Structure 1
Amino acid sequence: MTVLAKDMAEKPAGGRAAYLERRRAATRDGIVRAARQVFAEASYVDAKIDDILGAAGVSRATFYSHFESKLELASAIYEETVPQTRALFERLPLLARQDRSAVREWLADFVGIHLEHRYVTPLIAQLQLFETGFRARILADTEVLIDLVAGSGVDAFAKASTDDRQRIGVRLLFNQIAHVCAEVARGEFGVQSDICLDLVAEDIVRFVKPAA
């Protein structure tokens, strides 16, 4: 009897089931961590499942017991960022009603998310190009964010619930925010990053509190 088998045999039924579940979760996490590394070093198209298997140290059978495809694995990586992004956008309406400096700090936090998950932004862009249907997922998640801020009670966002023009305006604003914060995180603006974020902050405040 192996040490693992003996260890499992000595555990009560409930304990054994919990132990196996922890091992399964740890294996899944290991595959996801390996995939992050592989996707950071190669494009989504060029990254092979065999590369991920090698980085994770698991068999093909083990991989497919957790994920049906490379797309499902990539989508799981994207999913990890969703709660953090939603929590960030929950804060936006009230901050935007305050002043530009509060919004500017919020934008810096968004840049921080992009830096923390720097491999995800290019991965999402590639998924939208090469995987049919993933673009629809991104659009659906944007609609969720719009509904989230629409329930804040801030007029400019609340109107997005009933006014199509205002809803499109919010979507365009969110697209601008995401695009600029990603570019700043990648260092594309260099020393002008602060200017870019200041201008976006002004656009957000202007959207929430338009001139009379």
Structure 2
Amino acid sequence: MTESATKARQLPRGRHGLPREQVVASQRERILIATSRAMAENGYVGTSVAAILKYAGVSRETFYEQFRSKEDCFAAAYERAVRPLHDRIAEVTAGAESSTGPTVGLDKLDEILRDYLQHLVDDPASARLFLVEVFAVGSTAISRRVQLQELIVGLLVGVLDARTEQQRFACQTLAAAIGAIVTARIAVGDPDGVLALREPLLELVRRGGELYGYAVVDGAL
């Protein structure tokens, strides 16, 4: 379900007696959700701090108590947007490391793609933030995007049991292709197109066989 600043937990009006930490955390969450929403509508360049404040319903003083600048706020919003992906990658990696059986291959890739693509569709504002607007921010933000890409490459290498340099390179190109195609569809607001990528991507890997990794042969659907 798409998030918006209006869906963030609002603090009670007037005297509420809530701990300072809870107040700050609530305000921060509202600001980060508002940042994603504002930039999804107006882009990074076209979004001012004033626009973020309007969406979040907080004061300028509150904003600058937590963030040095719009770019600093974007960095925090970016980390919030990609946290579910990091968590999912860590979960799959931990499961693979604790398993004594063979790598599962395409069935696990199918599950991962389904989760990933559905996540993008469920929260398009956050998806646009880390897939599209990140390129307008600067080199530091782009470096974060590259780091996420490398994590995805590592996930593919593990799931597909890529052992050779050629197989690892194939996983790199697959990750790059997924990133490029998904970004294009998010940029034009095509959620159905995003979800429709799962089957052709699986078929691409299936037909590639050992090009991508040994698990593709052993774990084919």
State whether TM-score is above 0.5: yes
| Residue 161 (structure 2) pairs with residue 155 (structure 1) | yes
- Residue aligning to 1:121: 127
Q: Does 1:137 align with 2:140?
A: no
CA distance in structure 2 between the partners assigned to 1:108 and 1:148 by the alignment: 15
Per the alignment, residue 187 of structure 1 pairs with 190
| TM-score, normalised with respect to structure 2 | 0.68
- Unaligned runs of 5+ residues in structure 1 are 9-17
Letter in 2 for 1:199: P
| Greater relative CO (CA pairs within 8 A, separation 6+) | 2
The number of residues matched between the two structures is 189
Residue in 2 aligned with 1:15? none
User: Which residue of structure 1 lines up, in the alignment, with residue 3 of structure 2?
Assistant: none
Post-superposition Cα deviations, 1:7-52, rounded to whole Å, max 9, x if no partner, equal 76xxxxxxxxx81111111111121222232122211110110111
Q: In structure 2, what is the Cα distance between the partners aligned to 1:188 and 1:55?
A: 24
Q: TM-score, normalised by structure 1?
A: 0.70
Distance change in 2, residues 1:97/1:201 (3 Å): farther
* Superimposed CA distance per residue, residues 89-140 of structure 1 (whole angstroms, 9 cap, x where no aligned partner): 453896x954645533432221111112211333332222342322122112
Task: Answer yes or no: is the 8 Å Cα contact 1:86–1:145 preserved in 2.
Answer: no
Identity across matched positions, percent: 22
Structure with more helix by fraction: 1
Look up the SS of the partner of 2:124 in the other structure. coil
Query: What amino acid is aligned across from residue 128 of structure 2 in structure 1?
Result: P
Q: Which of the two has higher C-alpha Rg?
A: 1
Change beyond 3 A, Cα 1:184–1:105: farther
Q: Deviations over 1:34-78 (max 9, x none)?
A: 223212221111011011112222222210111111112122222
